[in-house]
Chains A and B, each alone.
Chain A
């Protein structure tokens, strides 16, 4: 059994601020972290390995410094890390990214389960996980909140929906994207940290993956960002003051129309 976890290094979003004068993002000292949802994917892969044996491979696409998130996963207990990095990948949108990761997973060859966080906290698209499944023509279960049952050939996963959840049975190999409810990720052990320090990571470039050059990077990306701007600031807020009875009366008056329009 091999579990491939796709992870991403993202800026620690809480550090992103907007400079009110230049309207650019201020990221001074903004740390790069492992995408929060990926923690749950790594943890679940480790649990699968504990149950069924096998190997956990962590895969990321990004700049050389993205090695840090691979080492973080190894510190948690993953067996090996692969960094896919090449200038040719610059400008990749979710189509090209999922293609590139799918090509890397093909090269790995024997993946039984491919796990991703439900989305990355910087792009928030949630498109890469299903994109990988589509490129590899594998079944997928998104928004997984629990693995109910699993053996070498199949698994049953609970998928979180807006109005409840559904249990889905799928043969392996398959792609899962996971939500936070799934588990509580372990902290790295001392042994893990040492292993992470010493681990020799695999580096793959575009040519190692036999990528079609028309399908990677800018050329492979159907979408293109044409403008970046700050959202208009929220209209100035109003502070209501006074005794509870007085503020409640004021607030109800202000919200009356909106509450009625929202419909019961």
Chain B
């Protein structure tokens, strides 16, 4: 097997441009007299060096030949995530985005709806932009379950061959489609924040943050269909509902053995403590070590309740047991991107920034003017949070009362 990327020494002038261009330190050059060497273990085949080389001295092998006839794959599918008969808002965002993609390649937008007694939701899906809804309605699909849901989706993909398959990058979405992509041999990209269709090739250009948001990568699956992506909630714009919009409802039968699952849900316990789940919140009020003690989270909760916000926390606050892990934002917690993120008494370690730096507006309140959080803040206040937060809560209450 030939290496996927190689330096053609006959063309190389040993200028070192590729060494400098490599984001992954995968190319080394002992000195200016030596040819550069690519460490294949580190190389991600991102192509930065190929672009940087002015002498066409780096050759990257194209990946595998098409696995199947790509032209047979049509339409943009959206997984309609629902819990207890309510659609997750990311479904609407995906339908909005799916419409844009589908229009650019003259395809239909189809929602895939699994559950029990969920047919009424199809009207909502049409109103939000679906042209067609594939419905699998069975008692054994009443609760989300990885194996059964994945098996049903695999079967539907085999029957109807979608070109693009989108799901929310939620707990459910990420667990589910990772399982679906394997038997369908699909290209799958996680947690995308940007999608577009390349008009020349029909490839889905999937852009996502990597290394905690320090770099962005655009990924394609040129020889695989469907092109699957999970999409970060709150990034894409949902369409306003149009109740007059209708579509085609396709009820799919499914054999019992496909739906059979070995794991089963024993019980579900909703979280009662938090105001709004941070994964779904448009506004997050987050606190860190600067709060000094757990009781002071009450200040944040009041502000959060006023704004209808979720309560987040830094790792320091969670590790000190001031608040439950489900509130942790950052590398070892959750990645969020609300419209407004309040970082209160959070210094802004890079691991924390990795989880929230793509928020639309970041408000930082910290007494240390050198805290790294101010580097990403849209609005920064250097000051005593204990003096500021109660006043801020009162001011928002007054504003919202109007």
A contact residues vs B (CB 8 Å cutoff): 11, 13-14, 16-18, 22, 24-25, 27, 36-37, 62-64, 85, 87-88, 90-91, 93-95, 98-99, 121-131, 133-135, 139-143, 145, 156, 159-171, 174, 179-181, 213-214, 217-231, 234-235, 237-241, 244-245, 247-249, 251-252, 254-256, 258-259, 261-264
Contact = CB atoms under 8 A, between A and B. Distances in A.
A258 B339 contact: yes
21 contacts: A11-B211, A13-B211, A16-B212, A25-B214, A90-B40, A126-B178, A128-B178, A133-B146, A141-B263, A142-B174, A142-B175, A167-B265, A169-B263, A170-B264, A171-B262, A223-B224, A226-B218, A227-B217, A230-B214, A247-B383, A264-B307
Nearest to B191: A124
A36 B354 CA distance: 14
B36 to A, nearest CB: 15
A225 B46 contact: yes
B331 to A, nearest CB: 6
A162 B399 contact: no
Contacts, number: 340
B319 to A, nearest CB: 9
B395 A254 contact: no
Interface of B: 1, 3-4, 20-25, 39-48, 61, 63-64, 67, 83, 143, 146-147, 150, 170-172, 174-176, 178-183, 185-191, 205, 209-224, 261-271, 277, 279-280, 282-283, 307-308, 324-326, 328, 331-333, 335, 338-340, 349-351, 354, 357-358, 360-363, 374-384, 387-388, 391-392, 395-396, 399-400
Given A163-B277, A174-B263, A140 B179 contact: yes
Given A140-B146, A179-B325, A127 B178 contact: yes
B331 A139 contact: no
Contacts of B218: 225-229
Contacts of B262: 139, 170-171, 174
A156 B279 contact: no
Contacts of A133: 146, 179
Summarize A's interface: helix, strand, loop or mixed.
mixed
Given A63-B41, A223-B187, A225-B219, A87 B3 contact: yes
